[in-house]
Amino acid sequence: MRIFVLGGDGFCGWPTALSLSASGHDVRIIDNGCRRRIDAELGTASLTPILPLEDRLRAWREVSGREIHWSNIDIARDYNALRALLDAERPEAIVHLAEQRSVPYSMSSIEHRRFTVEQNLTSTHNVLAAQIECRLDAHIVHLSSIGIYGYETLGYRIPDGYVHVSMRSMDAVSDREILHPPNPISIYHLTKAQDQLLLDFYCKNEGVRATDLVQGTVWGTQTAETSLDERLVNRFDYDAVFGTVLNRFVLQAVLGRPITIYGSGEQTRAFIHITDTVRCIELALNNPPASGSRLRVLNQLAETQRVVDLARITASLVGDVETRFIDNPRKEPMSNELDVSNAGLSALGFAPKRICEGLLLEIKDVVERYSKRCDEGRLLAAA
């Protein structure tokens, strides 16, 4: 299968591109280096050493004997180049990961809010519009976030995308099935909710085939392919803007620093390992929706955990580590319950890795090895 991986130099995109290539697919990365420029803007870097993309691709060719092509295109701003490439290459599938992915970054200033909205929504719409203009029937797999559902305690298990509702007006009642109502608490999550509406519109009105993977927080670093050679290593973001809570906890524990918990720690979040992210994308690609189908929405997670419990798990694996509660720099509920179904992906064969099963390996293989590269001043959000 000929597959375009948009954002293929990023944390989820790079291991996805390698895995698809290893499976025999003809893979082209489309990436303009935006994530690397954000590192330069923030003065941060991955804990793991990330080579320039040209060197990464050369290393993959040497290790695997397979070629991954690369096009340096800003898909949000260079529509004509994107359309021309789609028309020339005619991919059978497009994995869309080319969006600004950080909640704190999206909320840090008006400039960053505007950038996130323009980048995320325009890139998604350009992909859809270019596909229609090229008369291309490529299956689009888009990566979303479970944060589109919000973090209130709903009291029910969130299904895969759609809910049955009764609409009441005066004496009239109409039963319908609709996309689950979004409740985003950040500009980033707002763009993901709007992405879903764009995908839904083009599926219903233009016959596009699309899958929206509504994903939990990704933890872990390495996959089978990125572990083959140090030049292929994946990102490990730990800073307060792009680093995830589990990355921060693990690094603090290895360094012998207190594990810092924002607020009460009673916030419940969904989690998935990076190897399972790659696996779920491949499951979606291998099981495309039929022509004329509505937007397929699949919740992509392995488990839910309270933040305070994650801190305890991490501390227990490393040893005698203090946990410390600090003021939460983010505007979010102090506590919540989160219950999300992953029935759709489970039916396709998804068998997830749990945090307790893989966290110790992550500590030994990645964090301990590269901990000297840590800039501890980047671990916490500014007051």
Alpha helix positions (H), 244-290: 245-254, 274-286
Give the separation between CA 318 and CA 307, rounded to whole angstroms. Answer: 17
What pLDDT score does 156 carry? Answer: 94
Order of strands, sheet of 69-71, starting from the edge strand that comes earlier in the sequence: 69-71, 26-30, 2-6, 93-96, 139-145, 210-215, 296-300
Give the separation between CA 367 and CA 374, rounded to whole angstroms. Answer: 9
What pLDDT score does 381 carry? Answer: 62
C-alpha dist (Å) from residue 315 to 136, 250, 269, 366: 51, 8, 19, 17
In a domain, 346, yes or no: yes
CB 182 within 8 A of CB 221: no
User: Residues 178-192: pLDDT tens digits?
Assistant: 999 999 999 999 999
In a domain, 242, yes or no: yes
CB 213 within 8 A of CB 142: yes
Give the separation between CA 300 and CA 340, rounded to whole angstroms. Answer: 9
Q: Which of 275, 191, 272, 215 is nearest to 14 (CA)?
A: 275
C-alpha dist (Å) from residue 336 to 146, 150, 326, 333, 365: 14, 10, 18, 7, 33
Domain count within the chain: 1
What pLDDT score does 196 carry? Answer: 98
What's the token pair of residue 270?
A: 């969904």
Please list the pLDDT of the chain residue by residue as tens digits (383 residues).
Answer: 999 999 999 999 999 999 999 999 999 999 999 999 999 999 999 999 999 999 999 999 999 999 999 999 999 999 999 999 999 999 999 999 999 999 999 999 999 999 999 999 999 999 999 999 999 999 999 999 999 999 999 999 999 999 999 988 888 888 999 999 999 999 999 999 999 999 999 999 999 999 999 999 999 999 999 999 999 999 999 999 999 999 999 999 999 999 999 999 999 999 999 999 999 999 999 999 999 999 999 999 999 999 999 999 999 888 888 999 988 888 788 889 999 999 999 999 999 999 987 888 888 889 999 999 999 988 876 43
User: Which DSSP helix (H) or strand (E) runs through 217?
Assistant: strand 217-219
In a domain, 383, yes or no: no
The parent domain of residue 190 ranges over: 2-378
What's the token pair of residue 207?
A: 């016959």
In a domain, 113, yes or no: yes
CB 304 within 8 A of CB 269: yes
What pLDDT score does 195 carry? Answer: 98
Q: What is the DSSP code string of 93-148?
A: EEEE--S---HHHHHS-HHHHHHHHHHHHHHHHHHHHHHHHTT--PEEEEEEEGGG
Q: What is the CATH number of the domain that holds 164?
A: 3.40.50.720
What's the token pair of residue 282?
A: 């491949």
> Beta-carbon neighbour count of residue 94 at 10 Å?
25
CB 361 within 8 A of CB 238: no
What pLDDT score does 270 carry? Answer: 96
In a domain, 114, yes or no: yes
What pLDDT score does 120 carry? Answer: 98
- Burial class for 181, CB neighbours closer than 10 Å (0-12, 13-18, 19+): exposed
In a domain, 31, yes or no: yes
C-alpha dist (Å) from residue 321 to 35, 237, 248: 33, 21, 14
